[in-house]
Chains A and B, each alone.
Chain A
């Protein structure tokens, strides 16, 4: 592993924490950090999140203590106390989340004790230690969810049958987070469940406060939110399952089955639902049949993305669309146990294909991995090359796509070249959206 990361496809723990709090209903983040942190995160979203920045209180509106050298020398606790007090006067929030940056964590401000002073006065406030050097945006999300579970979610409530929470989709880092959460909610509602997804229009702070009444937490990721689910289990006794991001019918079928098994639902009924959904899905595809076949739209593919997208898109391409994912590049920094889990998950494709899976954080190295799969031959007459090919990745992968002459679709952060509002790729409908976008990229010049 090299001593740098090339063009990291995430911000820091503070960045993920700020974006996550931006996405919670009626919640105000308070940064205890150096002055530029908020701006850096706002610019990151501006350039990487399909044109979505902030929300109710995001971007440069977030309160921040903006610590300077004076605080570095004398400590920043007093400044934070003043900042929180005045934030309560100025900002209209129902919940406040204090998160820390590198500077205030290195100098060791006792943020917890300052925040607890306000908590004792009955203020809805929580805190998470999110110094940038602790990890990336995805980890920042996990830290905020852990803090919510420990400090905000009401303990000791009774479990209600048929209620679930959804974890594992990181707002803004998953650029399609809103549509994806809606898609998952609608899948779960087909099973007759009541769903808390934390971040959509249909979620509320009261629902989040009460969310320990769920009988199950569903983490739609092999990595993101898993630690938070652990905290829910420890503090609130909520069991959890981890399932891949369900994009398209194959993954959605599996998602429904796994959830139904975990909740001991009537499996026959679930199979009936799955059958109906597939019928509907393929009835939508029916008019595509001729062009799809006549235009020879099957493709080899390189899939590049974060943990959730790399695995989920690969499964969709392989097991629903019938494409040939050859190389899967997972761009996160991961521990070995996480890598093993992902390797195991992606080895299990219904198509029987065995794409090469690599863990690579450096964008310009991806071509090396692809070249390794397609060694140069002496003549170029009969060549089994990566053609017709397609690159599904982020906007950083345009240069790769261009260099191999393949069309390209941006789905994983950073998404600089698309505008995203409520489009989502989860569920059966999400699969249809993804087919539209993939095929549009191929036929755009037609």
Chain B
């Protein structure tokens, strides 16, 4: 039985034994010799974080001709005020059209909490369909319906026949999982269950054999390129360029994909992930249900990772020779272009924090540029990344601290004081701690910027060179602004508040 037969996807703690709590080192995590990454890792002190609703909305808000109907309290979804910038610029670079994300909130009140919110949701769906006439309405559940027991799937089934839009339930109850990456499963789950049927009107009435042959040929050369919401148009173009060099067409999916065309993801020769953390749930489903094989291994960030990513795809199509030629030429050109920056990077210490795959792949890139890695913080850990830890051990030949934490800047502040990096790379709203300590920083997710492929290596190097050329803003800030931690905290073990069931929680 497929997970997609259920109303909700399982949480990643259960499905992948993913965890968010570890303090140790690269080798320690790779070997898992200590009591690391317990399934139910806990901290006795925690700071705020995001929940799966945020990455979930980042994906859904991007869909054109879709209305997001957030079923929850009034604040859930206000993160859209930030995500809207990406929706606007993303629409502009793809279609030359600036448009705001359209989202609604059922704004559950105290009385709804007592009497239930299903009737309100039902009316809201009908009104939204009438007023905005969207292709799809994604009904996103926040915490409150999850606790009071609203059956959003039941409501959707009950009223689908009364509205023109296709309604897609997406479960994002924040208290149900610690692993944000469950968001991707939640969104894919909704898409997989509701949006993959090819509409009858798109099929030809009378089969034309020649057209069918052409179509089959096209399909045999079309790959699904799975994007993530943090991947901007620049990155999509870079990967399309590289795949195009191998004669492949790309179907980019699902961020900014048109709901009415999503069925096309079932008609490709191969699905290629750009981030295994992001895509495994859906790619396995596509293979199981539609027989589309997939590649889910490397994230094309950094020179070596991009090479490996291309080689995997090429091997599938029997184009190993072409791939080697492409790689050779690309890398030669890239290395020549990088040469002017490298002296500035040599031996500079760097700390990187991001989603697990992104953090590790970017760490590999930074090592390639000549930086010295002094620490990595990944937001969670699961088995997909084990090979990445091995890669880093092999390439760097050294051990350094690894923190698995869904941000937790207090651990980061403590580590940064000890490790004293020259530059810090972190998530949106995740660079403030390092900045206030006077460290040069760079954002690791910004959808306007280029990070992926060979182009990403060059652009990241160029930006780091610029930032290291004048880190005066952060340096001066640090003289007059302090972090909100007690002096004793910096003397303490950074992993003091990690609780381990039945063993050492940290090394």
Contact = CB atoms under 8 A, between A and B. Distances in A.
A47 B112 contact: no
Contacts of A89: 45, 486, 488-489
Contacts of A48: 78, 81-82
A33 B107 CA distance: 18
B430 A60 contact: yes
Interface stretch (A37-45, A159-167, A275-283): A37-45
A120 interface: no
Contact of A133 (B80, B108, B127, B489): B108
A247 B497 CA distance: 49
Contacts of A204: none
Contacts of A416: 81, 84-85
B81 A102 contact: no
A106 B147 contact: yes
Contacts of B487: 92
Interface in B54-81: 54, 69, 72-81
Interface residues of A, number: 75
Interface stretch (B97-105, B159-167, B315-323, B463-471): B97-105
A4 B124 contact: yes
B124 A35 contact: no
B76 A12 contact: yes
Interface stretch (A51-59, A143-151, A307-315, A429-437): A51-59
B175 A35 contact: yes
Contact of B407 (A47, A60, A399): A60
A46 interface: yes
Which interface residue of A36, A91, A414 has the most chain B CB atoms within 10 A?
Answer: A36
B74, B102, B104, B409, most chain A CB atoms within 10 A: B74
Given A8-B107, A48-B82, A43 B50 contact: yes
A72 interface: yes
A39 B429 contact: yes
Interface in B464-507: 482-489, 497
Contacts of B147: 72, 102-103, 106-107
A46 B54 CA distance: 13
A4 B69 contact: yes
B46 interface: yes
A414 B148 CA distance: 30
Nearest to B497: A86
B289 interface: no
B79 A40 contact: yes
B368 to A, nearest CB: 29
A43 B46 contact: no
Contacts of A137: 75
A34 interface: yes
Interface in B131-184: 131-132, 142-144, 147-148, 174-176, 178
A40 B432 contact: no
Interface in B323-345: none
Given A40-B54, A416-B85, A69 B176 contact: yes
B11 to A, nearest CB: 9
Contacts of A42: 48, 429
B75 A63 contact: no
A132 B75 contact: yes
Nearest to A57: B484
A93 B51 CA distance: 26
A39 B432 contact: no
Contacts of B409: 60-61
Contacts of A61: 47-48, 409-410, 432-433, 483-484
Contacts of A87: 45
B407 A4 contact: no
A219 interface: no
Contacts, number: 255
Contacts of B234: none
Contacts of A68: 175-176, 178
A64 interface: yes
Contacts of B123: 3
A305 B178 CA distance: 37
A42 B77 CA distance: 12
Interface in A1-29: 2-8, 10-15, 28
B96 interface: no
Given A46-B429, A399-B100, A5 B107 contact: yes
A15 B78 CA distance: 9
A131 interface: yes
A8 B80 CA distance: 10
A69 B45 contact: no
Interface in A101-143: 101-103, 106-107, 131-137
A90 interface: yes
A36 B109 contact: no
A107 B143 CA distance: 12
Nearest to A14: B75
Contact of A72 (B73, B79, B175): B175
Given A43-B83, A54-B432, A91-B484, A35 B73 contact: no
Contacts of A86: 44-45, 497
B178 to A, nearest CB: 7
B81 A44 contact: yes
A154 B106 CA distance: 40
B51 A4 contact: no
B59 to A, nearest CB: 14
Interface string A403-417: 000000000001010
A82 interface: yes
B175 A69 contact: yes
B485 A92 contact: yes
Most buried by A among B50, B78, B178, B484: B78
B74 A10 contact: yes
B79 to A, nearest CB: 4
A396 interface: yes
A169 interface: no
Contacts of A36: 49-54, 174
B45 A136 contact: no
Interface string B408-444: 0110000000000000000011101100000000000
Most buried by B among A103, A133, A135: A133
B128 interface: yes
A258 B433 CA distance: 45
A45 to B, nearest CB: 8
A136 B406 CA distance: 27
A62 interface: yes
A396 B100 contact: yes
Nearest to A365: B131
A318 to B, nearest CB: 29
Contact of B47 (A5, A64, A364): A64
Contacts of B497: 86, 90
A439 to B, nearest CB: 25
Contact of B144 (A11, A15, A91, A102): A102
A71 B147 CA distance: 12
A197 interface: no
A11 B75 contact: yes
Contacts of A35: 46, 48-51, 174-175, 178, 406
A386 to B, nearest CB: 22
Nearest to A16: B75
A209 B128 CA distance: 48
Interface of B: 44-54, 69, 72-85, 99-100, 102-110, 112-113, 120-121, 123-124, 127-128, 131-132, 142-144, 147-148, 174-176, 178, 406-407, 409-410, 428-430, 432-433, 482-489, 497
13 contacts: A3-B124, A4-B124, A5-B74, A8-B74, A10-B74, A35-B406, A47-B79, A62-B47, A69-B176, A87-B45, A90-B497, A103-B174, A132-B75
Given A4-B104, A66-B46, A92-B485, 18 more contacts: A2-B127, A3-B124, A4-B124, A7-B102, A15-B78, A37-B48, A38-B49, A40-B75, A41-B78, A42-B429, A82-B44, A90-B486, A102-B147, A131-B73, A132-B75, A364-B102, A398-B100, A416-B84
> Closest 3 CB pairs between A and B?
A38-B48, A36-B51, A12-B75
